[in-house]
Amino acid sequence: MPWSKIKPELNEPDFNNVTGKDKRIIPYADAIREALDQALSLDANVFVMGQGVDDPSGMFGATLNLHEKYGKKRVFDTPLAENGLTGIAVGAAIGGMRPVYFHNRPDFLLLAMDQIVNHASKWHYMFGGAVNVPLVIWACIGRGWGSAAQHSQALQGLFMHIPGLKLVMPATCYDAKGLMLSSIADNNPVIILEHRYNFRHKGFVPKEPYRIPIGKGIIRKPGEDITIIAASYMVSEAYNAALELSKDGIDAEVIDLRTLRPLDEELILTSVKKTGRVVVADTGWKTGGITAEISALIAEKGFASLRAPILRVACPDVPTPAGYTLEEAFYAGILEIVTAVRKLVKCKERADAKKITLK
């Protein structure tokens, strides 16, 4: 099996220091492209499909010129027929291929829900484990240029709800490559949801192929006073919020989930046991979303560790607006995280002063 040649790596070296003569620093898009390039080279069963993967811009740069290197039989454009083409990808995966289907936006996945939910996610279960569906579906949240209600939706809460799917949301260049390679090597259907703002980043990425285990999160910043749990671009916001809070003497721990399904419950509960206070931050809607699920997990399995209520930072329950000004008001970030943390710390201080238990 060619994938066994790729070494597994769990921890990202020097996350907080992306400079240095011995470090290889590349843009986020190049990290994804390099993963695809290495997967295509490693395994003849891998192919890349999707709207615009062979365009001059190469899907935000993530698939740039791969069609020239591997030919249009292995890297090819697809028509606007998401449900049908996803069905083709599912069939190819069942037949032993490893398709990577780029869908541009998560919104377009709604047009393929029958294939994703009724077929890709269930096939292995329905056939008693005799059939695998090694399919990767990639989409990018389109925040940043006023893409509005039908092109900027963060739908991770929707896909986290579906048994049989794995759900990946990288936050760094290092993870973008390692998790892409892990997803392609996985024998289950994996959805990778990127955030457009991640493509602003440059970071340390080893040249050789490596894999990050799906289902393992990481502590980006250790702390003692409060736990901030986030994924994707919200990890950057949470980390910067933690730096701001440190000026007030608040020592925040930042968890990067990396994958939402499976979820690293042990990492979350261990951190909560240490700090006793939690803020959960997500780029999606609050109701029925990621913040709700993680809060429920902590309330169910870690309630005894809590010293204050769980607070959630997420987008309001309205359709995504268009335009820079409205987007700034709609999307949550560092300010909302800092405000939530300060609220919990003040609650803690009042409780300590009065020697009472928070209700």
Active site (catalytic) residues: 151
Collect all residues with Cβ–Cβ distance below 8 Å to 127 and sequence separation of at least 6.
none
Q: Residue 303: CB partners within 8 Å, gap ≥ 6?
A: none
Torsion of CA 10, 13, 17, 19, to 10 degrees: -120
Cis link prior to 262 (omega < 30° from 0)? yes
From CA 230, how far away is CA 253, in angstroms rounded? 11
Cα separation, 290 vs 160, in Å, equals 8
Q: In the chain, which ranges are E strands?
A: 7-8, 25-27, 46-50, 75-76, 98-102, 136-141, 166-168, 190-195, 202-204, 210-211, 218-221, 226-230, 252-256, 259-261, 278-285, 311-315
Residue with tokens 């700090």: 275
Angle separating helix axes 290-301 and 265-275, nearest 10 degrees: 70
Q: Could you tell me which residues come within 8 angstroms of residue 196 by beta carbon, excluding any fewer than 6 positions away?
A: 60, 140, 141, 142, 143, 144
Token pair belonging to 220: 């980006």
Q: What is the rounded end-to-end Cα distance, in angstroms, of the chain? A: 55
- Continuous segment of H or E residues that includes residue 174: helix 173-185
Distance CA 17, CA 19 (A): 6
Token pair, residue 262, equals 């499976």
